[in-house]
Amino acid sequence: MKIYKLQNYLIKHLSKTYRMFLKNILKRDKEKTNMNLLSSIIYTLGNGISIILIVKQTLKLGKNIGTFNFYFRQITILSENLYNFSLKYSTYKDNLIYTRKFKELLDLKPKIKNGTVKLKYNKPLIIEFKNVWFRYPANKKYTLKNINLVIRPKEKVAFIGENGAGKTTLIKLLMRIYNPTKGKILLNGIDIKEIDYNGLWENIALLTQNYNRYHFTVEKNIKMGRITKSNKKEIIKAAKQAQADDFIQRLPNKYN
């Protein structure tokens, strides 16, 4: 930050964001205050008018002080309930701002529909991209255009290209994070859309550029690769295959 002289830029950016945030908070609080003020005015006026009317009616009909107290108490209870209701409604509106977006998130339905075919992994996979086109939502430009590709068992394939060429996108399509816009991806001749993606994910190992390292033990971090089916023996076997067992054994608590 010091070398690139970013301090002023970041402080300015932070101040702008904070002012915008503050503006929204003040707008909401102003609405809340106005509503509370209106409720207080209605409450006070209602009580005042009610007392005048009750006094006039009591004097007119020659009722005693007990009757006056009874009616006054009923009016007071009603006014208090209405006032409390308006306050609660104001709080409800306030909370709604925070909960609306959260509810929208919870109500999201997956766009990728799961398939029903259980792919058999006891024989090597042939991966085929057949006339695959893809563009991201809200993007007019295609990231991938007419990709035709066959990857056979035991082949090692590297995708090389500029940033934005579509290398990661190709992997995302293979992992069914997205569906192709046009064309098909086949595994042993079966359309990937028809395959149960839970089975697919269990049998493909993906290590991304930005990988996660969890605040757990070494054992549990390795277990994350197959969370439902890994035992200690398989975890150690995986570590040995990845040539990680040597340095894990040198750790004070090893796999723990």
Digits of tens for pLDDT over the chain (256 positions)?
A: 777 777 888 888 899 989 988 888 888 778 777 777 777 787 777 777 777 877 777 777 776 777 777 777 777 787 777 777 877 877 787 777 778 888 888 888 888 888 888 888 778 889 999 999 999 888 888 899 999 999 999 999 999 988 888 898 999 999 888 999 999 999 998 999 999 888 888 778 788 777 777 788 898 888 877 776 678 888 999 899 999 999 999 999 999 9
DSSP H stretches of helix in 62-209: 65-106, 167-174, 197-202
One domain for residues 234 and 197: no
The answer to whether residue 29 is domain-embedded is: yes
Structural domain of 242: 218-249
Q: How far apart, in whole angstroms, are the C-alpha atoms of residue 238 and residue 183?
A: 36
Is pTM, for the whole model, over 0.85? no
Count of structural domains within the chain? 3
Q: Is 255 within a domain? A: no
**Residue 93: its pLDDT value, please?**
75
Is residue 141 in a domain?
yes
Please state, in angstroms and rounded to a whole number, the distance separating the CA atoms of residues 38 and 161.
64
Q: What is the pLDDT of residue 240?
A: 93
Long-range pairs for 213-216: beta carbons < 8 A, 24 or more residues apart: none
User: What is the distance, to the nearest Å, from the Cα of residue 149 to the centroid of all Cα atoms in its chain?
Assistant: 34
CATH of the domain at 138: 3.40.50.300
Q: Are residues 95 and 137 in the same domain?
A: no
Asked if residue 101 and residue 143 are part of one domain, the reply reads no
What's the confidence (pLDDT) of residue 131? Answer: 94
Q: Would you state the pLDDT for residue 47?
A: 74
User: Is residue 254 assigned to a domain?
Assistant: no
Q: What pLDDT is stored for residue 245 in this prediction?
A: 93
- Examine residue 156 and state whether it is found in any structural domain, yes or no: yes
Query: Does some domain include residue 97?
Result: yes
Question: Are residue 79 and residue 150 in the same domain, yes or no?
Answer: no
Residue-level pLDDT at 156: 92
